[in-house]
Each structure stands twice: as C-alpha cells, then as structure tokens.
C-alpha cells in the first residue's frame, strides 16, 4: 500500500483540498478556504500546513473568531449549503469565541467546519497557558463546549484518527437532514505528530447532495389532503432555497393556484411581484399571509422548522379542522405540530405532488381573495416605507429607501433587533438571493460579518448590510477585513441610541423603560456618548458619511453604489415606532403579579391570548 508521511495537520489540509462538489454541472472545491486567527494552539501545526496549501485552500485572516465564523456561515448559506469554509482558532479564548457561531450554524442547519486548537494530548506541560482545568476531569477542555452546538464532534487524539473522523465530518456537513457544524478539536501536539497515511485517502473526491424521495404512503396522505382542500396555503421555508427548489415551487404554485407565504429563511423564494406571493407569515408577517393562514383548511409547509415566529407561537393556524402537511427533508421537523409528515427533499416532494395532482386546482375564489389581500398589503408597504420628511425616520422608511436602491442585483443582510421583523414584513425581494436575514438564532453581531460572507460567495451582487447601533458596537471589526480583502459592502447603520426592539417589547409587556435605550441606562451625568459611526468606519479603512433624513440617505446610497470599496452610511432613527399593520401574537411570558398596574394589565391580555394557543 502506497503511503505519504505527513503531520496530522498537513493530512487534514491535504484531505480538505481534495474534496470537490458538483455545482451547476461543474466540479468545484467543496471548501472555498479557511478563516484563521492563529495562536499557540494552532499556528505551529495547522498554520504551517495551511501555509503550504495556499493555492488549493486559501487562508483568510479575520479580526474576531466569532465573526469570522459568522462570515463562513453566511458564505455557506449564500451558496445554498453546497460550498463552505473551515474556521480555525487558537486554544482557549479563541476557541470559546466560536461557540456562539457554532450555535447559530446548528440552529440554522448550515454547514461549518470548526477546527479549534486544544490542549496537549500528552499533558506533558500541563497546565498550559489558556488551559481551563477541571479539577475532577482532566479530559474536559474549553472545546467540550462545542459538543451541544455541533452536529458532529471529535477530539483527534492520534493522527490516524483522521482516517475515520474526517469522512464522517464531511458527511455531516453535506447531509441535507443533519447539516450543521462539525467540530474537530485539535490538540496542539497532535497537530504536529506524523503518520504514514494511505495515499488513496487523499484522492480527489466529488460529492453530490442526496435528494431523498417521498415515501409512497406519506405522499398519498399528502395528496389526499390537498385534493380535499378548498383553501390551501403554502409556507415556503429555507429548505426551498437549499434544495434549489425555487423554480419548482413557482411552477407548483402556478399549476395548482395555491398562494405562497414565506418564513424569514424562505423569503425571496418567489419574487414579491409573483402573482401567488402573499409575503411574510407569522409574528412579523403581512396581513395578507396571516389572514389566509387563519382561514386555510390545508397548509403545506415546505422546508421550514415551524418555529414560533412562523406559527404565531402556535396560535396563528386557528381552524380546528386544519390539516398541516410538513414537507421537510428532516424527520425531526416533518413530525412537528401533529402534521402529516412528508419526509423528503423539497424539490423531489413538490415534483412528486404536482405529478400526481395533475390538473387539480385550488378554489378560484380563494386565489382571488389572496390576490386582493396582497394588493391591499402592497399599499400598506408603499405607505409606511415612504419618505414623510421626518427628522428621525422610522426603520420602515429606511428599509424603503434601501429596497428601492437595491434593485435586481442587491442582497440585503441583517440579523437581530427590530430590523429583521420590519424587513420580513416590508422588504420586497427581487427573487432568490436577494434576501439574507439570520433569524433562527437572531444573533447580534452577525450583520457585518454575514455581509462579508455573502459578498465572498456572490461577488457579482451588491450587498446591503442593515445594522443597528447596538449590533454595530458589538461586532464591527470585519469592516476592516472587507476592505483588506477587497469585498465591498454597503453598510447602513441605524442609530436609535440603544436596543430599540427590546425597549418596545419591554413596554408591550407592561415594563418601564429600563436599561435598553441609552437614556434609560445608568450613565455619568452627561449621559452616554454620541458615537460617530462614520468616523469610526473611516478609521477602519471604509468610506463613510453621516446623513440626516431619507432624502439624504437616498443620495448617499447612490454614492455608495458608485464606490469601489466598503461604504458606511450612518443616520439617526426613531427608536419607538414599528409597523403596526400585519403581524401576529408572540408568546413572551409576562409576570403574573407586579407592583406596576401596566404589567398586571399586560398579564391579563397575555392570558387571554394564550387561550388561543394550540397544543
């Protein structure tokens, strides 16, 4: 047997570089590169290996471990889970910084290969710098924090363990059902140990994504439900994008006259102007989609995990005789909410359904009602996103300005706070690839790093990052990375002087304004400082300006489009308003007793709303 003597780190890198995937008829590298911040836990071993593989597996230096992992996640999402990146950090705090990103990837079912350094397997120099010692279990390190937030976890204690562990990690990353982060914990000494690896281990391998087909009995039950429906509704989730099923959904909806609502992850599966699109659904949904959801007798949920924002905390789908059909590649998701499961790939499932349905068509009156409700909602969107000349514009008005400038080639990126809710309601997507909002984990600090990942994946698109001042102050360092790598972003910073979204929720549950807006926080007598976001962005190498009002924002967006490098626009916004139209109830627990009458009033309303909740 032919062998190659390599260190464990060299073998790992050589194996990753040999992995390819079939994408649009071409064979392309599965791993587009590695984000790395080196430290004593990975610089000597993995760093040396990556140095020699720069042509096959480029290495990108970032400024923060969490955000470089966010960028890698966004890259994989923008690539439809068909290409991805590896991320490596040093031991200790560098590794711990990536745990949040791992949780985000796990929640959103997105592939991410994590390669954190670890302590010495031999334990010869213990305790080493940055080692977390457990007095009763010396096998536990910081990296054990990755276990609950990884779909696959292994600690490589011997170089030959790569032979079995690496293929399993790759299989997890590419599995349509179990997709999520794979973590290989790499003790720093083992990275440097050598082994005679079989040469065939490094042979070029071309992967293809599995497409599970519907099981006959489940397909028949779903067909029976649809054939008996008079008022059916489709909910499109992220799985429609990942299965490359957007065109299939388009044909299915047109052939059978079924309105389509979209989750946060599914938004953009159909363009907003599609005749059967009724917009967002759920807590941050359009009035059109939510009205139809309340009346639907059959709901076909495609590629969605049906979380609480989609279902209105299980209170939106009101009909007792409703039949829910959950078409999902994952059994865990297709079995939720007492649904009829249709466990299969989204494209395969829709094609199977449409082939068997033939010329079956939904009720004409239902389809006409959907069109009428959507036209009414479009009028709401036009009204609330228009420029009213306010000195402090609302989030909705800023969204309208950015949406109109984004055009056909724009992608909006956002994550946490009030902006994702307003975007879900109000953004009018041009189609697949135009909307990228991380709302499964709703992680503050994802926005700028996520924008970088999207731009790396889709350099032909103009990427518009919308971020609040709170998220910007949490994580902004990858602005410098975007400039360094030449990946232009247009970043709009909405400064409402605090955490405006949670401030609104605090008031909605009867609470007093406290510790969210800066004016309600403990500060020095002069108050919290006013951050000059444009000056800060310029200090990171960006072009930047501060503007006031929507008219000035529109002009700045034109300048930003014409710029050749990352351009940041900051403006002050009103922290209080949000779009009252649309939406649905969200279960946020309210104290049963309080000294504040406002809380007691909110609790009575909470009990009344909770009575509508289905179990």
Whether the predicted pLDDT of 259 surpasses 80 = yes
Name the pLDDT band for 234 (thresholds 50, 70, 90).
very high
Whether the predicted pLDDT of 25 surpasses 90 = no
- Cβ contacts of residue 422 below 8 Å, gap of 6+? 284, 395, 396, 399, 578, 579
pTM score, whole prediction: 0.97
Instruction: Say if CB 297 and CB 226 are below 8 A apart.
Output: no
Read off the tokens for 333: 């998701």
In this predicted structure, what is the pLDDT of residue 320? 85
In this predicted structure, what is the pLDDT of residue 1? 84
178, with CB counted inside 10 A (0-12, 13-18, 19+), is middle
Whether the predicted pLDDT of 413 surpasses 80 = yes
d(CA 258, CA 252): 8
Whether the predicted pLDDT of 566 surpasses 80 = yes
The CA distances from residue 320 to 311, 317, 428, 598, in Å, are 15, 9, 32, 33
Tell me the longest C-alpha to C-alpha distance in the chain.
79
Name the pLDDT band for 612 (thresholds 50, 70, 90).
confident
In this predicted structure, what is the pLDDT of residue 539? 98
Whether the predicted pLDDT of 378 surpasses 80 = yes
Whether the predicted pLDDT of 165 surpasses 90 = yes
**Residue 202: strand, helix, or coil:** helix
* Residues facing residue 302 across a β-bridge: 236, 327
Torsion region of 507: left, alpha or beta (phi above 0 gives left; psi -120 to 50 gives alpha)? alpha
Name the pLDDT band for 199 (thresholds 50, 70, 90).
very high
24, with CB counted inside 10 A (0-12, 13-18, 19+), is exposed
In this predicted structure, what is the pLDDT of residue 567? 98
Percent of the chain with pLDDT over 70: 100
Average pLDDT value for residue range 182-207:
98
Structural domain 385-572, CATH architecture: 3-Layer(aba) Sandwich (3.40)
Annotated domain spans of the chain: 3-207, 216-377, 385-572
Could you tell me the strand order of the sheet in which 59-61 lies? 59-61, 31-36, 84-89, 112-118, 181-187, 152-155
In this predicted structure, what is the pLDDT of residue 100? 98
Q: State the DSSP string of 284-323.
A: T--HHHHHHHHH-SEEEEES----HHHHTTTTS---TT-E
d(CA 59, CA 178): 27
What DSSP element (H or E) covers 102?
A: helix 99-108
Tens digit of pLDDT for each residue in 552-565?
999 999 999 999 99
Mean pLDDT, rounded, of the chain: 96
**Residue 94: strand, helix, or coil:** helix
Closest Cα partner for 246 from 423, 427, 425, 435? 435
How many distinct helices (H) and strands (E) make up the chain? 24, 23
Q: State the DSSP string of 224-267.
A: HHHHT-SSEEEEE-HHHHHTT-HHHHHHHHHHHT--EEE-TTTT
134-170: b (≥16 Cβ within 10 Å) or e: eeeeeeebbbbbbeebbbbbbbbeebebbeebbeebb
- DSSP state, 326? E
Neighbouring CB atoms inside 10 A of 583's CB total 20
d(CA 119, CA 142): 9
The CA distances from residue 8 to 32, 189, 197, 409, 594, in Å, are 21, 10, 9, 43, 60
Name the pLDDT band for 131 (thresholds 50, 70, 90).
confident
Question: For the domain bounded by 3-207, which CATH number is listed?
Answer: 3.40.50.970
Average pLDDT value for residue range 506-519:
92
In this predicted structure, what is the pLDDT of residue 319? 83
Tens digit of pLDDT for each residue in 63-119?
999 999 999 999 999 999 999 999 999 999 999 999 999 999 999 999 999 999 999
In this predicted structure, what is the pLDDT of residue 570? 98
Phi, psi angle pair for 495, to nearest 5°:
-95, 100
Are domains 3-207 and 385-572 of this chain identical in fold? yes
Name the pLDDT band for 433 (thresholds 50, 70, 90).
very high
Whether the predicted pLDDT of 615 surpasses 80 = no
Whether the predicted pLDDT of 318 surpasses 90 = no
d(CA 352, CA 346): 10
In this predicted structure, what is the pLDDT of residue 133? 87
d(CA 291, CA 281): 9
**Residue 325: strand, helix, or coil:** strand
Q: Kindly report whether the peptide bond that precedes residue 127 is cis, defined as omega within 30 degrees of 0.
A: yes
Is 216-377 a CATH 3.40.50.1220 domain? yes
In this predicted structure, what is the pLDDT of residue 377? 98
């Amino acid at each position: 047997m032919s062998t190659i003597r390599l260190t464990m780190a060299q073998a790992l890198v050589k194996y990753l570089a040999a992995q390819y995937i079939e994408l649009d008829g071409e064979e392309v590298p599965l791993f587009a590169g590695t984000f790395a911040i080196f430290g004593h836990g990975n610089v000597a071993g993995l760093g040396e290996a990556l140095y020699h593989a720069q042509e096959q597996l480029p290495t990108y230096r970032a400024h923060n471990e969490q955000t470089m992992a966010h960028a890698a996640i966004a890259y994989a999402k923008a690539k439809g889970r068909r290409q991805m990146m590896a991320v490596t950090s040093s031991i200790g705090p560098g590794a711990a910084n990536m745990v949040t990103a791992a949780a985000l990837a796990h929640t959103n079912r997105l592939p991410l290969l994590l390669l954190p350094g670890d302590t010495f397997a031999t334990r010869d120099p213990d305790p080493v710098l940055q080692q977390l010692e457990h007095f009763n279990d010396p096998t536990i390190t910081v990296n054990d924090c990755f276990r609950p937030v990884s779909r696959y976890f292994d600690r490589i204690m011997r170089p030959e363990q790569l032979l079995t562990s690496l293929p399993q990690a790759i299989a997890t990353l590419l599995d349509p059902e179990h997709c999520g982060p794979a973590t290989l914990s790499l003790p720093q000494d083992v990275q440097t140990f050598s082994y005679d690896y079989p040469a065939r281990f490094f042979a070029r391998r071309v992967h293809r994504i599995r497409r599970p087909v519907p099981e006959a009995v489940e397909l028949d039950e779903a067909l029976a439900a649809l054939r008996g429906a008079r008022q059916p509704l489709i909910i499109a989730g992220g799985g429609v994008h990942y299965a490359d099923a957007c065109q299939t959904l388009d044909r299915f909806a047109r052939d059978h006259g079924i309105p389509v609502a979209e989750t946060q992850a599914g938004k953009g599966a159909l363009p907003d102007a599609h005749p059967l699109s009724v917009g967002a659904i759920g807590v941050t949904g359009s009035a059109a989609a939510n009205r139809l959801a309340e009346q639907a007798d059959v709901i076909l949920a495609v590629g969605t995990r049906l979380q609480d924002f989609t279902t209105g905390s299980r209170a939106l789908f009101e009909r007792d005789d409703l039949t829910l059909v959950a078409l999902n590649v994952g059994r865990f998701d297709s079995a939720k909410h007492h649904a009829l499961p249709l466990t299969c790939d989204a494209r395969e499932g829709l094609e199977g359904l449409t082939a068997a349905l033939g010329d079956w068509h939904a009720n004409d009156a239902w389809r006409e009602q959907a069109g009428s409700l959507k036209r009414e909602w479009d009028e709401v969107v036009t009204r609330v996103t228009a420029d009213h000349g306010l000195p402090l514009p609302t989030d909705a008005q800023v969204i309208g300005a950015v949406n109109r400038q984004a055009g056909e080639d724009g992608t909006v990126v956002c994550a946490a706070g009030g902006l994702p809710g307003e975007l879900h309601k109000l953004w009018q997507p041009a189609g697949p690839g135009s909307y990228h909002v991380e709302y499964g984990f709703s992680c503050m600090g994802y926005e700028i790093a996520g924008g970088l990942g999207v731009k790396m994946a889709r350099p032909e698109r103009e990427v518009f990052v919308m971020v609040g001042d709170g998220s910007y102050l949490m994580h902004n360092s990858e602005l410098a990375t975007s400039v360094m790598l030449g990946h232009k972003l247009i970043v709009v910073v909405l400064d409402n002087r605090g955490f405006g979204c949670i401030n609104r929720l605090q008031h909605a549950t009867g609470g007093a304004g406290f510790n969210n807006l800066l004016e309600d926080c403990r500060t020095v007598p002069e108050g919290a400082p006013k951050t000059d976001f444009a000056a800060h962005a310029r200090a990171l190498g960006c072009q930047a300006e501060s503007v006031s009002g929507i008219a000035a924002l529109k002009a700045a967006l034109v300048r930003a489009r014409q710029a050749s490098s990352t351009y940041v626009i900051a403006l002050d916004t009103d922290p209080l308003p949000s779009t009252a139209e649309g939406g649905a109830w969200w279960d946020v627990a309210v104290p049963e007793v309080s000294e504040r009458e406002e809380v007691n009033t909110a609790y009575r309303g909470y009990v009344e709303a909770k009575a509508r909740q289905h179990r």
